[in-house]
Amino acid sequence: MNQNLNLDEVKRVLEVALLASQEPLSLQQLARLFDTEIDHDNLRKVLDALRTDWADRGVELVQVASGWRFQTKPEYQVYLDRLHPENPPRYSRAVLETLAIIAYRQPVTRGDIEAIRGVSVSPQILKTLEARGWIEQVGHREVPGRPALYATTKQFLDDLNLRSLQELPALDQFVADESLLLPQPEAASGEDEGQAGEAEVASTTAAADGEPVLRGSIESAEDAVGARSGDTIEAVIEDLGGRGAETAAADV
């Protein structure tokens, strides 16, 4: 770090900028705050020191996929909810299962998702997730029909308070046979949705009640995600979706 820069002053400038920003700020953006150059390693050290300063407060400094931001600690959310007592919109199980498949198997096509779930996927489900900013089209698979490929966004990681996809809970924690989540080759093009759905029903639904295998993955991911959020993936996604979404997909 440039010797002309005062460490305490740098920390105060970073603190003000982060508190004033409504979005996470990257290291590149934070470095532009200063007239003299600060390398990213030293900038991280100052941010770590600032994070320590706020460790015992109700607000914390965290690093997510898009950068650094201040946010309230999860245990205080119950009090903030009293300022806005209306019930947040809830996403249907179909929406959450589709999101989980995309998160773990990206990039995937609509046909891949249908092969895994064993049922057809409404275009409105994908539109809902795109409107929320959690998924986006990242290209097309080079097969007949060139179906669109979907992947999650940085916004998805930011909303789940994650820095990268590697921080998602491991599939083997809540899926007994991970191969059940692998799309079948014949479903890749998405051209014969009916046949793909029939072929996959036996392998992607539970024998007892016919519910998709991913039901367990959404409801039982408490060990990994719970350590960060104190809740299941389903509850976290529903809660986050209600905070910023202008429209609800209550029953897509």
Q: How large a percentage of the chain has pLDDT more than 90?
A: 50
Q: Using the predicted structure, report yes or no on whether residue 49 has a pLDDT greater than 90.
A: yes
Work out the average pLDDT over 117-122: 91
Q: Using the predicted structure, report yes or no on whether residue 32 has a pLDDT greater than 90.
A: yes
Work out the average pLDDT over 109-122: 93
Residues 71, 138, 105, 204, Cα dihedral to 10°: 120
Distance CA 110, CA 117 (A): 11
Q: What is the pLDDT, as a whole number, of residue 87?
A: 74
Fold match between 7-82 and 93-244?
A: yes
Q: What are the structural domain ranges in the chain?
A: 7-82, 93-244
Work out the average pLDDT over 112-127: 93
The pTM assigned to this predicted structure is: 0.61
**pLDDT tens, residue by residue, 161-210:** 899 999 888 776 555 445 555 544 444 444 444 443 333 333 332 322 33
CB atoms within 10 A of CB 110: 21
Q: What is the pLDDT, as a whole number, of residue 68?
A: 96
Phi first, then psi, for residue 101 (nearest 5°) are -65, -45
Is the domain 93-244 a CATH 3.40.50.12780 member? no
Task: Compare 1 and 206 and report the one with higher pLDDT.
Answer: 1
Q: What is the pLDDT, as a whole number, of residue 24?
A: 95
Q: Which of 83, 100, 180, 90 is closest to 134 using CA atoms?
A: 100
Work out the average pLDDT over 56-65: 94
Mean pLDDT of the chain: 75
Task: Compare 67 and 81 and report the one with higher pLDDT.
Answer: 67
Q: Using the predicted structure, report yes or no on whether residue 31 has a pLDDT greater than 50.
A: yes
| CATH number for the domain formed by residue range(s) 7-82 | 1.10.10.10
Task: Compare 137 and 248 and report the one with higher pLDDT.
Answer: 137
Q: Using the predicted structure, report yes or no on whether residue 141 has a pLDDT greater than 80.
A: yes
Distance CA 207, CA 216 (A): 13
Q: What is the pLDDT, as a whole number, of residue 218?
A: 39
Task: Compare 240 and 105 and report the one with higher pLDDT.
Answer: 105
Q: What is the pLDDT, as a whole number, of residue 10?
A: 92
Q: What is the pLDDT, as a whole number, of residue 174?
A: 53
Q: What is the pLDDT, as a whole number, of residue 73?
A: 93
Q: What is the pLDDT, as a whole number, of residue 186?
A: 45
CB atoms within 10 A of CB 81: 15
Q: What residues contact 61, with CB distance under 8 A and at least 6 apart?
A: 18, 47, 50, 51, 54, 68, 69, 70
Q: What is the pLDDT, as a whole number, of residue 78?
A: 87
